[in-house]
Every structure is written in C-alpha cells, then in structure tokens.
C-alpha cells in the first residue's frame, strides 16, 4: 500500500524568535524551522546580516520578520517581542542562539573580554527568556531552546570567559525548566561540538586535524546537525522532555 501527499509540517503556524539568526548557525536553525512551517522572527544586531537570512527564508516560501535588537539590552529585547506579537499575535518558540567567544589566556583577559562574552552568551539568553515567558504562560505553553557549547566543560585553554558563560547557559536551562514546567513550557539546551563553518574550516590544518582526531566520529559536525536537534525540541515529540542538555558533538563527552 502506497501513501501519497505532502508531509504535514510539524511547526505549521507556530512563531519562533531566533536570536543571532544572521550568523551561519542561526541562519541554519532559522531555515530548518521555517521549512517545517514556523514563522520566523529573525534577530540580529545587524540589519544587513539578518536580511540575508530573511531573504533565504522568503525564497523557500516561508514567512519571516527582521528584528534588529541587541539581546544584551532589555529595552531592545522588549521592543523586539512587542514587534513579533504585533505581527503574529503569539510566540511559541525562543531559540537563544546569539553568542560567541572572545579568547584570551586568563592573565591577559580584560574585564571587557569577560563582560562582553558573559553578557552576550548568558545575560542575553536570560533577558530574552524573561521577555517571552509571560506570553508563553498566557498561551499555556511554549518552547525555549538555549544554545550552549561543549566548551562549557572547560576543555579549551583560553576560554575561561566562554566556558563560564556556556556553563551558565546550562544552569539557566535547568533552573528555568524547573520554574516554567508548571506552565507547559519546556526549556532545553543544545551543546554543539566542533561544527563545520567558514571560521572552523579556516583553522590551520594541523590544529584542525588535532581537533578532529579527538572526536570519536573523526569528523566535524554540520550546521544541519544542530538545526535538527533544535527542531526536535520544538516539536510535539519532545513535549515531555525538559531541563535536558543534548550534546551534538560526534561522541565527545568531557564532563
């Protein structure tokens, strides 16, 4: 017996806010969720970068809204959430993807190196979660997915700030998941390992070879691997999963 027809899109008509969606990883997540029917609020600090993602979503037939905001600033985030609510009337999914490192050895790490990384990776996730939570509570549910990194285990030299911030994201995930579970809101975390991006592919060959050698699967992951993990946490199949950290790392588990 054969089945025909178009597969049902799992996120049809749901609204997702994705921070840092102008970057390579954020763009990949946005495109994946849009392909499954979600309407995407594309956040970035740069209109130029965010517009690239918005145009790609539109080109594949999806709906998207550009939201220029600095996630470390509460007024910016509150204005962004108001913009999304005005456009689509609801917010079902928040992906706290905005982040990045600023590496330096401890003795050479400035206050600015520390503050900028902690603010972007951890404080930004807190501010965005705080802004969307009342709307999700009012709706009777929602999904928050935080992007951490396997760096939270403290396995890399020169990343005291980044490891601390990403470990904080894990703690944030577990604390928020406990607090919001009663409202039908799940909070989960995806921790990427070494992922193939223009930045990682530009590493010196000997450095890249050494990093790949430490991965049990002996290869880098793809942006699609992270996007698929995020998608899973947004779907009904994950409705009873919360406060979890999923390593997408080719088998690297360094706890």
Spatial distance between the Cα atoms of 4 and 232, rounded to a whole number of angstroms = 24
Q: Please confirm, yes or no, whether 162 is among the known catalytic residues.
A: yes
The reported pLDDT for the residue numbered 4 is: 52
3-state DSSP helix/strand/coil percent for the chain, to nearest 5? 50, 15, 35
Are 60 and 39 in contact by the 8 Å Cβ rule? The answer is no
User: How many Cβ atoms are within 10 Å of 109's Cβ, its own excluded?
Assistant: 17
Lookup result for tokens 């709307």:
135
| pLDDT tens per residue, range 113-148 | 999 999 999 999 999 999 999 999 999 999 999 999
User: String of b and e for 212-238 (b: at least 16 CB within 10 Å)?
Assistant: eeebeeeebbebebbbebbbbbbeeeb
Length of the chain: 255
Give the list of residues 6+ apart from residue 177 with CB closer than 8 angstroms, or none: 186, 187, 188, 242, 243
Outline where the chain has alpha helix (H). Answer: 24-35, 47-59, 74-88, 111-118, 124-139, 160-180, 198-201, 205-213, 223-234
- Helix or strand holding residue 204 (H, E): none
Of 152, 162, 183, 240, which residue is the catalytic one? 162
User: CA–CA separation, 235 vs 239, rounded Å?
Assistant: 7
H helix count then E strand count, the chain: 9, 7
Q: Which residues pair with 64 in a beta bridge?
A: 40
Query: Taken in order 18, 19, 21, 23, is the CA torsion positive or negative?
Result: negative
Q: Would you state the pLDDT for residue 9? A: 87
Flag residues of the chain having pLDDT under 50.
1-3, 5-6
What pLDDT, on a 0 to 100 scale, did the predictor assign at position 114? 97
């Amino acid at each position: 017996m054969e089945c025909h027809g178009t597969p049902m899109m799992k996120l049809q008509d749901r609204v997702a806010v994705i921070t840092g969606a102008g970057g390579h990883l954020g763009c990949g997540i946005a495109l994946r969720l849009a392909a499954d029917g979600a309407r995407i609020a594309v956040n970035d600090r740069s209109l130029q970068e965010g517009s690239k993602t918005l145009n790609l979503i539109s080109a594949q037939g999806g709906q998207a809204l550009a939201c220029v905001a600095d996630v470390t600033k509460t007024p910016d985030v509150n204005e962004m959430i108001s913009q999304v609510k005005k456009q689509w009337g609801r917010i079902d999914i928040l992906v706290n993807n905005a982040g990045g490192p600023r590496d330096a050895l401890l003795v050479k790490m400035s206050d600015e190196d520390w503050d900028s990384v902690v603010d972007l990776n951890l404080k930004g996730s807190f501010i965005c979660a705080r802004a969307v939570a009342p709307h999700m509570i009012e709706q009777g549910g929602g999904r928050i997915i935080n992007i951490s990194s396997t760096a939270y285990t403290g396995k890399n030299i020169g990343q005291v700030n980044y490891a601390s911030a990403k470990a904080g994201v894990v703690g944030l995930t577990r604390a928020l998941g406990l607090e919001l579970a009663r409202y039908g809101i799940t909070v989960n975390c995806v921790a990427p390992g070494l992922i193939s991006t223009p930045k990682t592919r530009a590493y010196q060959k000997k450095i890249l070879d050494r990093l790949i050698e430490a991965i049990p699967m002996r290869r880098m992951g793809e942006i699609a691997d992270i996007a698929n993990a995020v998608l899973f946490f947004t779907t009904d199949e994950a409705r009873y999963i919360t406060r979890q950290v999923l390593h997408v790392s080719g088998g690297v588990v360094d706890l």
